[in-house]
Structure 1
Amino acid sequence: MDSAFDRHCSELVARERSGHTAVVEEDLLYVWGGYLSIADGEVFLPNDEIWVYDLEQGEWEMFHMSGEVPPSMSGTCGCSLNGHLYIFGGCDDNEQTNQIYCVNLTDGKYMWRKIVHESGSAPSPRDKLSCWVYNERIIYFGGYGRKLLTNIDSRNRSFIVDEASWMEDVLWGWNNEVHVFDTMKASWSEPQTHGRAPAPRAAHASATISCRGYVCGGRVMETRTSDIHCLDFKTWTWSEIIPVSTSPVGRSWHTLTAVSDGGLFLFGGLSVDCKPMSDGWLLDVETKKWREVQHPFKDKPRLWHTASPGKDSDVIVFGGSCDSILLVDTGHCNDALVFQTQPYPLFRICEDYIAMNLRNNETLRYQLPLLPPKLLTAVQTRMSFYRPTKKQR
């Protein structure tokens, strides 16, 4: 990794948070939900606000939301599909949920819509799950949640009961179920998978490459793992990737992001010994080799953050906690960390160089008005990103 940025250029910034949802559309990062620790309590962030970060200008803006607004939650599973943000599950003030909502991110109205499915059955309530997007469908995996005792088959190991959390006829636990939501038909289905499925888990990470979904690590009962599995969406067959090199240590609350046709970027998380981590790793899914990468954010451990793919194979990490939320839970963050995972195109290198050096380079200042209008606008926009900034946590 050659470079990275940690930027907040505007006076207005999103509130610190963990367990939130974030997606990138075009050059905009959208952030919704999550929670914040205040005194000895946990407070959910407003459910009728969406924060938008311009990755080109480095500026935040907040918009109020309307419509069928979902409850304030953390641990919900969010993704972007056709310009819409979809969220499913999560934990509100009462318990885990199994509702699905969507909002159009492109029309400027930010009006939530609660989706009522036309067929099939929704998964049981859960949070800390993950999802993949493929062929107009959202494929959900795993998570921690509750089931009725009558709905648990003791012969089926897709749900492991958390012995510390149960009451009468309701049990909580981890699962490795695969549920599919077809956004075109508004229908739920549960495909029959083949092969050896990953152990039931929550607080894991996932990413999509082509017609395959990858899941890495997470909490499996009382342990944290670093195993990685692949689900083929055409055959619904599971396979485990056995690395041929040194692997990251076991962790939960980390992120996994596709950065190329065969590359996955892992960042942060909570280790087996409950330490927040700041290491970054690249996995080549073809050679099955992990490679630890150097980056300038070694002093910024993160867990229960979000990571979104940006342009030119960037990875945009936002928020999360910098301490162990199991023990302290006070160090929530609100900075955007932009990781570079591939060499930038020459055009972007030139654009960034001009934007960074224009104020101190007289020759560049004289040449700027001679640029074509479209390029001039791009450089002026990028100059906003490199303005002096206040130090953010």
Structure 2
Amino acid sequence: MDAAVERHRSELVARERSGHTAVVDENLLYVWGGYMSVADEEVFLPNDEIWVYDLERGVWEVFHMTGDVPPSMSGTCGCSLNGHMYIFGGCDDNGQTNQIYCVDLTDGKYMWRKIMHKLGSAPSPRDKLSCWVYNGRIIYFGGYGHKLLTDIDSRNRSFIVDEASWVEDVFWGWNNEVHIFDPMESSWNEPQIQGRAPAPRAAHSSATIGCKGYICGGRVMETRTSDTHCLDFESWTWSEIIPVSPIPMGRSWHTLTAVSDSTLFLFGGLSVDCKPMSDGWLLDVDTKNWREVEHPYRDKPRLWHTACPGKDSDVIVFGGSCDYILLVDTGHCNDALVFQMQPYPLFRICEDYIAKNVRKYEMLRNQLPLLPPKLLTAVRRRMSFYRPSKEQKH
């Protein structure tokens, strides 16, 4: 292993946080940034460390990061592409940014690289935006940020000014812009969009299914919505999904995750009356039907958390707040909640059963060495997840 990398094993648990970035790659959950509350202050998490959670073993590790380390931030937009984690935008001590960084997650060095684009123009500074990954490119949508008065086009209503926030000729507000970043070309461009675009918003959620990107809800000026829209990446056409069933309550700071070729999972968020939420919903994008689902975490409301697709259609929710984050000393979280969205394959059922019960039944212990080497290795890794001394909560 590279000597520059510091790794700490033991009973580590990632720090509580909200507004962080998280991605899953090769059954590992990577967590960076965000903020937490200390006494009466909001404190950004260290920018030179990345936390890695092994979803099979249930073990956290923390690594030191080097290179062009980004400033400590919250509200960045993160994604995983070709073994790299990309972050764009966010809010640091100086306000919103429009810089893009990436880090290789596969070489064990965790060295940040600031990307200087060669073509096109970067979007204006913003945070609380979302993105989709399609055809090797990253497509960004929306967010809250600032622009110069000369950059605001009042004709197309792509940027709505926040009347409570402006300084001289600098205006803050919400946007519904679509920007494409091509990592291979280090280029930005704006596609010609057809159809009726969603209202400008921030703190919404997004997910990708095939060649289509979906957004749901978010803060639209002074309201929180639950409307759902689809952007076709082949025709660059917006369309609104008009549901044929009862819909979730309007919300912001929630998550949306693809769990099948036609299904999206919505979880948590902050309601229209500023209540933290713990409800889960499935949207069938073909039938346009919403359905509320039962899950084991109804007592764990979350907002400004992250949700990543995992193995066998699992959804991995990490961190976030269990209280209204504009209150002082709010309750940030650091537990990983695993939502099972589909029946598990027989192999995983057997692997989990053996790993969970091998210490309980002597027959299983005696027969464990008889397993094929590959299966034995997998079971032993999984046994770590169920070890009795473990204090982490799942």
* Correspondence for 2:112: 112
Q: 1:234: Cα distance to partner?
A: 0.4
SS at match of 1:206: strand
* Correspondence for 2:215: 215
Is it true that 1:16 corresponds to 2:16 in the alignment?
Answer: yes
Looking at structure 1, the residues matched to 329 and 310 of structure 2 have their Cα atoms a distance apart, in angstroms, of 29
* Correspondence for 1:70: 70
When structure 1 is superposed on structure 2, of 48-57 and 383-392 the one drifting more is 383-392
2:39–2:329 contact (8 Å) kept in structure 1: no
2:263–2:285 contact (8 Å) kept in structure 1: yes
Looking at structure 1, the residues matched to 344 and 329 of structure 2 have their Cα atoms a distance apart, in angstroms, of 37
TM-score normalized by structure 2?
Answer: 0.96
* Correspondence for 1:166: 166
* Correspondence for 2:391: 390
Change (3 A) 1:51 1:348: same
Q: 1:10: Cα distance to partner?
A: 5.8
* Correspondence for 2:379: 379
- What root-mean-square deviation, in Å, do the aligned CA atoms of Structure 1 and Structure 2 show? 1.1
When structure 1 is superposed on structure 2, of 124-133 and 381-390 the one drifting more is 381-390
Matches within 5 A, 1:233-382: 233-382=233-382
Q: 1:327: Cα distance to partner?
A: 2.7
Unaligned runs of 5+ in 1: 1-8
Looking at structure 1, the residues matched to 317 and 63 of structure 2 have their Cα atoms a distance apart, in angstroms, of 21
User: 1:321 corresponds to which letter in structure 2?
Assistant: S
Q: 1:390: Cα distance to partner?
A: 2.1
Q: 1:329: Cα distance to partner?
A: 4.7
Residues 36-56 of structure 1: CA deviation (Å, up to 9, x unaligned): 111111100000000000000
* Correspondence for 2:183: 183
SS at match of 2:144: strand
2:316–2:339 contact (8 Å) kept in structure 1: yes
User: 1:57 corresponds to which letter in structure 2?
Assistant: R
Q: 1:392: Cα distance to partner?
A: 4.8
Matches within 5 A, 1:57-96: 57-96=57-96
Looking at structure 2, the residues matched to 287 and 161 of structure 1 have their Cα atoms a distance apart, in angstroms, of 36
2:38–2:329 contact (8 Å) kept in structure 1: no
Residues 111-162 of structure 1: CA deviation (Å, up to 9, x unaligned): 0000000100000000000000001100000000000001111212000000
1:202–1:220 contact (8 Å) kept in structure 2: yes
Looking at structure 1, the residues matched to 188 and 28 of structure 2 have their Cα atoms a distance apart, in angstroms, of 30
Q: 1:328: Cα distance to partner?
A: 4.0
* Correspondence for 2:194: 194
Looking at structure 1, the residues matched to 347 and 271 of structure 2 have their Cα atoms a distance apart, in angstroms, of 39
User: 2:380 corresponds to which letter in structure 1?
Assistant: Q
Looking at structure 2, the residues matched to 371 and 362 of structure 1 have their Cα atoms a distance apart, in angstroms, of 15
Looking at structure 2, the residues matched to 146 and 362 of structure 1 have their Cα atoms a distance apart, in angstroms, of 64
Looking at structure 2, the residues matched to 32 and 73 of structure 1 have their Cα atoms a distance apart, in angstroms, of 9
User: 2:103 corresponds to which letter in structure 1?
Assistant: V
SS at match of 2:342: coil
Looking at structure 2, the residues matched to 12 and 363 of structure 1 have their Cα atoms a distance apart, in angstroms, of 33
Change (3 A) 1:391 1:378: closer
2:336–2:393 contact (8 Å) kept in structure 1: no
1:334–1:392 contact (8 Å) kept in structure 2: no
Is it true that 1:25 corresponds to 2:25 in the alignment?
Answer: yes
* Correspondence for 1:150: 150
1:323–1:329 contact (8 Å) kept in structure 2: no
Looking at structure 2, the residues matched to 10 and 364 of structure 1 have their Cα atoms a distance apart, in angstroms, of 27
Looking at structure 2, the residues matched to 383 and 221 of structure 1 have their Cα atoms a distance apart, in angstroms, of 49
2:40–2:328 contact (8 Å) kept in structure 1: no
Q: 1:227: Cα distance to partner?
A: 0.4
2:41–2:329 contact (8 Å) kept in structure 1: no
SS at match of 1:360: coil
1:217–1:226 contact (8 Å) kept in structure 2: yes
* Correspondence for 1:3: none
Residues 217-273 of structure 1: CA deviation (Å, up to 9, x unaligned): 000000000000000000000000011111110000000000110010000000000
Residues 12-54 of structure 1: CA deviation (Å, up to 9, x unaligned): 0100000000000011000000001111111000000000000
Point out which structure has higher relative CO (alpha carbons under 8 A, 6+ apart).
1
Change (3 A) 1:390 1:261: same
Q: 1:366: Cα distance to partner?
A: 1.2
Looking at structure 2, the residues matched to 15 and 327 of structure 1 have their Cα atoms a distance apart, in angstroms, of 20
When structure 1 is superposed on structure 2, of 319-328 and 383-392 the one drifting more is 383-392
Structure 1 runs (4+) greater than 4 angstroms displaced: none
Q: 1:391: Cα distance to partner?
A: 5.8
Residues 62-98 of structure 1: CA deviation (Å, up to 9, x unaligned): 0000000000000000000000000000000011000
SS at match of 2:359: helix
User: 1:370 corresponds to which letter in structure 2?
Assistant: L
Looking at structure 1, the residues matched to 329 and 257 of structure 2 have their Cα atoms a distance apart, in angstroms, of 25
1:202–1:219 contact (8 Å) kept in structure 2: yes
* Correspondence for 2:5: none
1:96–1:145 contact (8 Å) kept in structure 2: yes
Unaligned runs of 5+ in 2: 1-8
Looking at structure 2, the residues matched to 320 and 392 of structure 1 have their Cα atoms a distance apart, in angstroms, of 15
SS at match of 1:270: strand
